[in-house]
Structure 1
Amino acid sequence: MKAHGLIAAMGLAVLCTGCASGLNSHQKAELKHYESRGQAIQEKNPGTGAALGLLPGGGSFYGREYGLGVVNLLFWPLSVLWDPISGHDASEVINYHATKSHVDRLRQNDLDALDESLRTGELDLTQYTLEKRKVDQKYRYN
């Protein structure tokens, strides 16, 4: 009876902790797009996250998933089966959100500069509209 309870608990832990949600296909493509343009930010190294996943809870802690890190710590060495993937995926998610924030900030800075040029009379409305389209094209993903 004790063995069945232990197996059930371990199965539940595997199901719960192995649910690292990485990027969806659209987000992966978007991140690749920004990487190709040199606009991506890498806060976390996915390879490091995967390597740290071999340590008790290391991949999850590296990926800022502290609750999962504690669970993975408790279920080590079994957690070696899923924590490297969790560490890798969490690193990619962190990098994606950092990149999105960075690109949004760059776009907003360019738009603010355009607004200032329009306000001071350096640009007329036609020039402003053309420059705004260039800024939108520079930061658009499609």
Structure 2
Amino acid sequence: MKAQRMLLAMGLVVLCSGCASGLNSQQKTELRQYEARGQAVQEKNPGTAAALGLLPGGGSFYGREYGLGVVNLLFWPLSILWDPVSGYDASETINYHATKAHVAKLQDREVSALDERLASGEIDLAAYTLEKRKVDKKYSTY
């Protein structure tokens, strides 16, 4: 009975923790393009996350997957089979979202500056349109 309760509790923790599923292929491509252009943000190091995954729950805790970290802590050393991968995926996901937010902020800043130049009459609508296309292309991954 006690073992069943523990398994049920661990199952609930795993379900509620939102396991890091990693990036899909499009997101990976986007992140690689941002990295190539020097626009990527690295909040978490995927290599460090994978290495910490060898410790009890380390990869999951580093990747902000605290519920999964507790489960991996309880299942250590068996969790060595999946926690390095989970930690790596979680850190890549964190970096992807941080990069997207950073790039959006940079793009908004440049567009706002263009808007101000247009409003002040420094540039006309044709020049604004051309400059805005350049800004959009600079931050686009397509």
Asked if TM exceeds 0.5, the reply is yes
**1:140 equivalent in structure 2:** 140
Aligned partner letter, 1:27 = Q
**1:104 equivalent in structure 2:** 104
Q: Distance in 2 between matches of 1:100 and 1:56?
A: 31
Stretches of structure 2 lacking an aligned partner (at least 5 in a row): none
Deviation at 1:77, TM superposition (A): 0.7
**2:36 equivalent in structure 1:** 36
Q: Distance in 1 between matches of 2:31 and 2:140?
A: 12
Aligned partner letter, 1:37 = R
Aligned partner of residue 42 in structure 2, secondary structure: coil
Deviation at 1:141, TM superposition (A): 1.1
Q: Contact between 1:20 and 1:85, CA under 8 Å: does it hold in 2? A: no
Matches within 5 A, 1:33-112: 33-112=33-112
What TM-score comes out, normalization by structure 1 length?
Answer: 0.87
Aligned partner letter, 1:91 = S
Over 4 Å off, 4+ runs: none
Stretches of structure 1 lacking an aligned partner (at least 5 in a row): none
**1:121 equivalent in structure 2:** 121
Aligned partner letter, 1:50 = A
User: What is the RMSD computed on CA atoms of the aligned residues?
Assistant: 1.9
- Between the two proteins, what is the percent identity of the paired residues? 72
Q: Distance in 2 between matches of 1:20 and 1:94?
A: 10
**2:23 equivalent in structure 1:** 23
